[in-house]
Amino acid sequence: MERQIKFLSSVHGAVCDVAWRARLDAEIAMPSTQDRTEVWWQYGGRVFEGWLASYGSLPVWAGADDAFQRWGVRHVLHLRDDMVSLADCGAFSWREHEEPQASPMEVAEWAHEWRFDWAISLDHVVPDYDATFDRHGLRSAPAEWQRRVDLSIRLGGEYLDACVTLGAQFTPFGACQGWSPQSFAKSAKAMRHMGYTHLAVGGVTGLPESDMLTVISAIRDAADCEALHVLGGTRLRVLPEMQRRGATSFDSTNPGRQAFMSPDGAYFGVAPESRWTCVSLPRAERNKAVRDNNRMGLTTNSDVNALSSAALHAVLDWGERKPGVKLDDVMAKIAACHDTHSASKGYLAAVYGTLMARPWEACVCRACKTHGAYVAVFRSAKSAQLRMYHNNHQFQLWMDDQFATWSDEPERRLF
């Protein structure tokens, strides 16, 4: 089966935070302006089909709002013509509140001013999923769940009005909420009736694969629509089935976010869903264990930075297969760094595994081809940005793998 479902990266503000902060990172000399743009261009251009931003977690770097308003999201992020930008209100961030913490006009205005291509209506998340209520009719479900679905439908209507008032150029997507296949279907019908030709389904992030697939089918059966975006619908194993049932795009934070959250599993491997532990060598100023030691007068920043720098060069030499470099010596230098991670159980063994396997040599992405082992070093905004590129590239290959091995014959399908 050929993949048509679009993958949108939804690392939220962090994507541009990391990318933009990397430009200020003086430790490793940045490439020329032209190359710098190219790294970001390639990162954005080849490894995902679009970018999703949530109103609830916007970029925090100084001047972000001004830049996006002035230039538009497509220009700031160097999105290619064949990529899309999608604005979402980020309802999950106010799930504990009785009402959404924004108004339909507020989120529509934001999507309009930043010049997104697509934008999802304001909604409120239903806190749970229970398909058994469908046996007894929609009114048997908890009143609060019904209230949230009805509220999302009403807000969807107000959002469309706001789009008209603003003269918004983006394509509005009606957010469908629910707690069961029938309630999602009801939501989808209502959105379609209001005039939405594009739909999005929310609140399915934590669902088992089979439930998510059932919800997609229920929406598609109930409402004929041009597109269906699945918010947070990262299910690598059943992506072809999601597409077959009518999902046209989904978003994921994983490939980008895992690159910089923790060294554990931060580097995606060639085998689907495999991950390697990165070598954690943060500079002294960014290392909590070092800061604590400094307070006790045990070490100085320059001592730590010298050790860290020595370890970094040893790792890079190992990565380049320089003659005479022994892995045990490299490991001794890594262990001497007193990083928070080097003290944790299993970390050094995991790093040994990564360095032995040299996964960057098996990768064909531009980050690994150019920077080798540095992509597997957890250290700076620059290395994080390269690893985000690598992970997204690898995620594309994992998806290709799923589609290549998928069979259209019903008896061989998982569901």
Give the DSSP letter string of 376-403: GEE-SHHHHHHHHHHHHHHHHHHHHHHH
Alpha carbon distance 383, 381 (integer Å) = 6
- Decide whether 224 or 320 has the Cβ nearer to Zn ion: 320
Give the residue with the Cβ less far from Zn ion, 238 or 368.
368
Q: Shortest distance, CB of residue 356 to Zn ion, whole angstroms?
A: 18
**Binding flag, residue 259, Zn ion (CB under 5 A):** no
What span, in angstroms and rounded, lies between the C-alpha atoms of 166 and 352? 57
CB of 394 to Zn ion, least distance (A): 6
Choose the binding region for Zn ion from 135-143, 156-164, 212-220, 368-376 (rule: CB under 5 A): 368-376
Rounded Cα distance between 292 and 304, Å, is: 12
The residues with which 201 forms a beta bridge, in sequence order, are 176, 230
Q: How far is the CB of 148 from Zn ion (least distance, A)?
A: 42
Taking the C-alpha atoms of residue 191 and residue 399, their distance in angstroms, rounded to an integer, is 31
The pair of three-digit structure tokens given for residue 158, joined into one six-digit string: 């107000």
Binding residues among 371-410 for Zn ion as defined by CB under 5 A: 390
**168 to 197, contacts with Zn ion by CB under 5 A?**
none
* Nearest distance from C-beta of residue 178 to Zn ion, angstroms: 39
- Smallest distance from Zn ion to CB 44, Å: 16
Amino acid occupying residue 230? V
Compare residues 151 and 397 and give the one whose CB is closer to Zn ion.
397
Would you give the binding string for Zn ion spanning residues 91-130, x where CB under 5 A is met?
Answer: ----------------------------------------
Letter for the amino acid at 248? T
Nearest to Zn ion of 74, 257 (CB atom): 257
Query: Using CA atoms in the order 359, 365, 371, 375, what is the torsion angle rounded to 10 degrees?
Result: -50
Among the residues of 72-136, which ranges form H helices? 73-76, 104-113
C-beta closer to Zn ion: residue 182 or 392: 392
- φ, ψ dihedrals at 43, nearest 5°: -60, -45
- Tell me whether residue 133 or residue 398 sits nearer to Zn ion (CB atom): 398
Nearer to Zn ion, 259 or 365 (CB): 365
Residues within window 328-367 making contact with Zn ion, judged by CB under 5 A: 363, 365
Q: Which of residues 29-88 bind Zn ion (CB under 5 A)?
A: none
Q: Which helix (H) or strand (E) holds 276?
A: strand 275-276
Nearest-approach distance from CB 199 to Zn ion, in angstroms: 35
* Residue 360 C-beta: closest distance to Zn ion, Å: 6
| Complex with Zn ion: residue 112 or 366, whichever CB lies closer | 366
CB of 398 to Zn ion, least distance (A): 13
Q: How far is the CB of 331 from Zn ion (least distance, A)?
A: 23
Q: What are phi and psi of 84, to 5 degrees?
A: -115, 155
Q: CB-wise, 227 or 270, nearer to Zn ion? A: 270
Could you say which of 368, 381, 386, 388 contacts Zn ion (CB under 5 A)?
368
205: left (phi over 0), alpha (psi -120 to 50) or beta: alpha
Q: Around Cβ 134, how many Cβ atoms within 10 Å?
A: 17
Nearest CA to 84 out of 251, 259, 244 is that of 251
Q: What is the β-pairing status of strands 267-268 and 249-252?
A: unpaired
Q: How many chain residues bind Zn ion (CB under 5 A)?
A: 4
Strands (DSSP E) along 29-100, which ranges? 50-54, 84-88
Which positions lie near Zn ion, rule CB under 5 A? 363, 365, 368, 390
